[in-house]
Amino acid sequence: MDAEGVVCRKVRVIPEDGLHLRPLQLLVRKALTFSATITLTFDDRRADVKSAFDLMLLAAPTGAILCLETSGSDAVAAADAISELFETGFSISGSEIR
């Protein structure tokens, strides 16, 4: 984390269909649990992770490397949680399905 409270990480899109509806839904749900500002950048396009529409416009295919940026009081926790979704390929346990 830098002096301004911004966390930057690189994440890779693992699902074979890229960021399709299910991963988008999981990203938005997880992002909304944090007060931090959370964005993803790909090919000069920037998306608010709390907006499914923004994420669809990102059009990130399988294998794409995205820049994850979080800022705010819970920026580290938000970056950890969003990074974990990418690292696991958006695998979810039964308790997370709602």
Q: What is the pLDDT along the chain (98 residues), one digit of tens a residue?
A: 444 589 999 999 998 888 889 999 999 999 999 999 999 999 999 999 999 999 999 999 999 999 999 999 999 999 999 999 999 999 865 444 43
* CATH top class, domain 6-96: alpha beta
The domain limits of the chain are 6-96
Secondary structure class of 78 (helix, strand, coil): helix
Secondary structure class of 98 (helix, strand, coil): coil
Interatomic CA distance for residues 68 and 70, integer angstroms: 7
